[in-house]
Amino acid sequence: FLVSGAATRLLFEKYRQQGPGAAERLGGSRLLRLGLPLVFGMLVIVPPQTYYEVVQHVRDNGLSGDIYHNAMTADFWVRYVTSKGDWCDADGCITTPTWNHLWFVAYAMIYGLIAALVAGWAGPRLTKASLVFERLFGGIGLFVWPIAYLSLIRLWLFPQFPITHDLFGDLYNHALSLAAFGFGFLMAATPRVTEALKRYRHAFLALALIAYGVWVSYMTGFTDTAPPPALKQAMRVVYAIDQWAFICAILGYGAHYIRKTSPVMTWLSGGVFTFYIVHQTVIVVTAFHIEKLKLPVFAEMSLVLLVTTAGCALAYEIARQIGNFGVLLGVRVRHNTAPS
C-alpha cells in the first residue's frame, strides 16, 4: 500500500503537469486500471480458487461421486457468479462472487479515489502538507511516529477488529493500509524522507532483525500454553516495530543501490500487477495437483514456485499481446503514456 500510494502521487503529479483536471484524471485512471481488473478477476481469475476449495471439501469428506463431477461442482461458474452455490459446512458458507486475494486491488482502488478527492480539494495546500510531512519524517521521526502509530492500532484496534478483507468492518486493516497508502502518497514528493531512509537503512535493518528474532522466539515459545497478557501486549509493539523497520530497510537499501533502470527491471515493473492478479490462482491449482505426487516438502515447494513464476510470466506476455484488453490483467492501456 505504501508503494501504491507513492505510485498514485507520481501519477497525480504527471497529470498536474498536463493542466487543470488532474484530480479527475487520477480518479478515472484508478477506476480503469484497478476497477476493470478487479471485476475481471472476480469473475474469471478467482473462481478456480473457489472451485478447488469445493473439490477439496468433497475429497476430504468422502462425499459420493467423482470429486470433479458431483452435485457440489455441477454448473459451478453459473452458481458462483449468481451467488447460488450453496457451498456450506459446519464452519459456514462460501459467499460468491468473491475477491479473495484481490481484496488488495479493491482497497487500493478506493484509496486511490480518496486520494483524488483529497488532492482535488487540497489544491496548492498539498505542497504545504508535503512540507509538514517532510519535517515530521525527515529525521528521527521516521522511527518514532510510524512505530508509535502502528503500535497503537495493534494494541487498540486489532483485538476488536481482526483482519477480514470484507471492506466493511475491517477497521484495523483500513487503519493500517490507508495510513501506509497516505504515507507513500506524501513520501513520493519529499526527497528529504528518501534521504533519511537511505541514511538510516543499516539501523532499520538491525532493528528489523532484532524484532523478528524476538517475535519468532515468542511464537515458538508459546505453542502449547497461552502467554501472559502483559507479554502479549508487549509483543504487539514488537510486531509493529518489525513491520515498519523491515519496510524502511527495504526502501532505504533500494533507494541507495538502485540508481538506474534496466530492461529486466522495466519488464518486471510492467508485469508486477499482472503477477499479483494471477499468482494465487496459479498457486492453488498447481499445489492441489502437485500434492497428489507426495513429493518431499522442498521439492513440492520448488515446483510450485517454478510453475507459479512461469504461469505469471506467461499471463503477462499474453496480456501484452492482446492490446487494450490487456488492462483486464493489469497491463496499462497502450495509448496512455502516463505512469501508473
pLDDT reported for residue 340: 47
Same domain, 35 and 181: yes
Same domain, 145 and 188: yes
Same domain, 173 and 30: yes
First to last CA, the chain: 14
Non-local (6+) Cβ contacts of 298 within 8 A are none
Q: Which three cell numbers stand for residue 247?
A: 519496510
180: helix, coil or strand? helix
Over the stretch 69-103, which tens digit does the pLDDT of each residue have? 778 888 999 999 999 988 887 778 888 999 999 99
Same domain, 222 and 183: yes
Better-scored residue on pLDDT, 225 or 198: 198
Same domain, 230 and 287: no
Element (H, E) at 89: strand 88-89
d(CA 18, CA 36): 25
pLDDT reported for residue 286: 96
Q: What is the dihedral of CA 305, 311, 312, 316, to 10 degrees?
A: 160
93: helix, coil or strand? strand
- Tally of domains within the chain: 2
Q: Which three cell numbers stand for residue 274?
A: 499482472
Q: What is the CA radius of gyration of the chain?
A: 22
92: helix, coil or strand? strand
Over the stretch 230-267, which tens digit does the pLDDT of each residue have? 999 999 999 999 999 999 999 999 999 988 888 998 99
Same domain, 238 and 270: no
- The answer, yes or no, to whether residue 216 has pLDDT greater than 80, is yes
Same domain, 172 and 250: yes
Length of the chain, in residues: 340
Non-local (6+) Cβ contacts of 267 within 8 A are none
Over the stretch 150-209, which tens digit does the pLDDT of each residue have? 999 999 999 999 999 999 989 999 999 999 999 999 999 999 999 999 999 999 999 999
The count of other CB atoms within 10 Å of the CB of residue 121 is 10
Q: Which three cell numbers stand for residue 297?
A: 516438502
d(CA 219, CA 324): 47
Smallest CA-to-CA distance from 104 within 277, 251, 247 is with 277
* Burial classification of residue 110, based on how many CB atoms lie within 10 Å of its CB (0-12 exposed, 13-18 middle, 19 or more buried): middle
- The answer to whether residue 27 sits within a structural domain is yes
Same domain, 268 and 245: no
Same domain, 248 and 299: no
Over the stretch 104-149, which tens digit does the pLDDT of each residue have? 999 999 999 999 999 999 988 888 998 999 999 999 999 999 999 9
Tell me the backbone φ, ψ of residue 286, rounded to 5 degrees.
Answer: -65, -50
- The answer to whether residue 46 sits within a structural domain is no
Q: Which three cell numbers stand for residue 227?
A: 502467554
> Could you list the residue range(s) of the whole structural domain that residue 335 is in?
261-340
Same domain, 239 and 205: yes
Better-scored residue on pLDDT, 56 or 279: 279
- The answer to whether residue 70 sits within a structural domain is no
d(CA 98, CA 79): 12
Same domain, 192 and 267: no
Q: Which three cell numbers stand for residue 129?
A: 502538507
88: helix, coil or strand? strand
Q: Are strands 88-89 and 92-93 parallel, antiparallel or unpaired?
A: antiparallel
Task: Put residue 169 in one of left, alpha, beta given phi > 0 → left and psi -120 to 50 → alpha.
Answer: left
Q: Which three cell numbers stand for residue 305?
A: 514456485
pLDDT reported for residue 261: 87
- The answer to whether residue 292 sits within a structural domain is yes
Q: Name the domain boundary from 203, 231, 257.
A: 257
Over the stretch 276-316, which tens digit does the pLDDT of each residue have? 999 999 999 999 999 989 999 999 999 999 999 999 999 99
For residues 30 and 109, the answer to whether their CB atoms sit within 8 Å is yes
Smallest CA-to-CA distance from 234 within 172, 141, 151 is with 151
Same domain, 219 and 271: no
pLDDT reported for residue 337: 44
Non-local (6+) Cβ contacts of 309 within 8 A are none
CA distances to 10, 249, 261 from 266, rounded to whole Å, are: 17, 23, 7
